[in-house]
Amino acid sequence: MAIQLNEDGLKQAKELIRAHKYDWSTDWNPPTMAVQDQFIIAHGLKAYSRWALGYDKAKKEPDAKYPYLYGDFTKLYVSALLDIEDKILAESTTDKGSCAILAAIQELRDLIYADLMNGAQKVYKQMKNNIFKDEDDCNCC
């Protein structure tokens, strides 16, 4: 069975982005197997599965059944999305599931970039308002 897009994982990834729980600048270091096991014991396999973009019904072990982790169980990493994309492209697969995962990654990246731009615009407006609270405050003209 080929890997399929994990819709629950995609949904959670979008929720994390909306909540600004993502890291766009740190290199991705996947959680160790010990950390993964601890998370599964504490929260269950269903919660674990939401941290993966892939799903393989034929596999039994959680790390094989839910490949392509995108976070450390607290936040999403943009570098993890890039890593997943690289792995899929390196496998040279063109199956429906892999294509769906690649499309999901692009959607998530677009959401992150839009969020970053929105944040930058808010900061710019705030800075502008603080600098020129009143047009009379501007002595440059």
- pLDDT digits 0-9 by tens, 34-61: 999 999 999 999 999 999 999 998 898 8
* pLDDT single digits (tens) 63-108: 889 989 999 999 999 999 999 999 999 987 778 999 999 999 999 9
CA 93 remoteness from chain centre: 22
Q: Determine which helix (DSSP H) or strand (DSSP E) holds 22, and give its type and residue range.
A: strand 22-23
For residue 132 the two structure tokens come to 């020129």
Q: How far apart are CA 71 and CA 85, in angstroms?
A: 14
Is residue 66 situated within a structural domain?
yes
Is residue 65 situated within a structural domain?
yes
Is residue 29 situated within a structural domain?
yes
Is residue 134 situated within a structural domain?
no
Domains: count for the chain: 1
Task: Give Cβ neighbours of residue 51 (< 8 Å, ≥ 6 apart).
Answer: 9, 12, 66, 69, 70, 71, 73
pLDDT value of position 139? 56
Domain that holds residue 112: 4-128
